[in-house]
Amino acid sequence: MPRVSQQYKDDQRGEILAAARRCFLRDGFHRTSMQDVFTEAGKSAGAVYRYFPKKEDMIVAVAAQNLDDVTGVLRAALARGGGGEHGVGEVMAELLEAVTGLHRDRELASMAVLVWSEAQRNPELAERLAAASAEMSAEVAGLVRGRQESGIWAGAPAEALAQAILALLPGFLFNLALSGPDGVSGFPDAVRTLFPR
């Protein structure tokens, strides 16, 4: 019997996660059964269990995808604004615009709301959210320190300012999940106005 390639395994896992994501968005984490995922993915129980022994593993994996997407977008925005070329407002506005695109493609904001709720019950998920938040705050703190070196925002530690700035993101995601892209279309420009260069 020929060996299965890593690419094949990755593709299978990706298909299962995409199916689980659709089920979770449609029915929520707790109303979705493993059978729902088997049916949505068009795969046998054995094929799904090979990658995800329990539903909680799928929940954590879908949440990790969301977190990786947002963290990746933030890093890209910071890289474009390297050396202070872009201000905090521009970086945050780019983040909100990119997140809106991800929401259009995969309902990222709706999944974020589900994940936040689940994190109240799932310690592993809460730990992943806290780690991602700390990582993003550390990245934004570097940009804040650049502002502080030029004499702006000298009244508070860079880490605390970064956390306060990033607190805009959950509010934005919540509004995006409830109102859709049209309901938050003015947010990026508002952030640019609040944090001018």
Looking up tokens 């795969």, which residue turns up? 43
Q: Which two tokens stand for residue 151?
A: 């004499």
| Residue 83 φ/ψ region, left for φ over 0, alpha for ψ in the -120 to 50 degree band, beta for the rest | left
Note the pLDDT of residue 141: 93
Q: Which two tokens stand for residue 66?
A: 């969301």
- d(CA 180, CA 121) in angstroms, rounded, equals 27
Note the pLDDT of residue 164: 95
Q: Which residues of the chain have pLDDT under 70?
A: 1-2, 81-86
Angle (deg, nearest 10), helices 108-119 and 123-149: 110
Per-residue pLDDT tens digits for 80-98: 865 454 688 999 999 999 9
Q: Indicate the pTM of the whole model.
A: 0.88
- d(CA 152, CA 160) in angstroms, rounded, equals 15
In the chain the domains, ranked by start, together with CATH numbers, are: 1-53 (1.10.10.60), 56-194 (1.10.357.10)
